[in-house]
């Protein structure tokens, strides 16, 4: 599936996403304030990025903790 958002008048399209990945990204972007039916401010995209970056950071920390527990 294709995913298109508009940020400050610029239409950005991600083509041929896997259906599950498409749904995950669309839902996460909506939670971050991205509205697919209108133009969005740059801050909305930055907020969405920070939201996903925080998830990745926390997952990395959790994985490191699990690895340390396993090594003991």
Give mean pLDDT in consecutive 10-residue pieces for the chain, a chain of 72 residues.
Answer: 96 96 95 94 94 96 95 80
Beta strand spans in the chain (E): 3-7, 10-14, 39-40
What is the pLDDT at residue 71? 87
What is the pLDDT at residue 72? 73
What is the pLDDT at residue 4? 97
Greatest CA separation for the chain: 53
pTM: 0.77
Domain with 52, as residue range(s), is: 3-71
Total structural domains within the chain: 1
What is the pLDDT at residue 41? 96
What is the pLDDT at residue 30? 94
Degrees to nearest 5, angle at CA 26 with 22 and 27: 120
| DSSP state at residue 41 | -
| DSSP state at residue 38 | S
């Amino acid at each position: 599936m294709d995913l298109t958002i508009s940020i400050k008048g610029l239409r950005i399209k991600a083509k041929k996403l896997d259906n599950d990945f498409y749904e995950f990204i669309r839902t996460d972007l909506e939670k971050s304030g991205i509205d697919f039916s209108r133009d969005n401010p740059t801050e909305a995209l930055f907020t969405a990025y920070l939201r996903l970056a925080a998830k990745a950071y926390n997952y990395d920390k959790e994985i490191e903790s699990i690895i340390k527990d396993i090594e003991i």
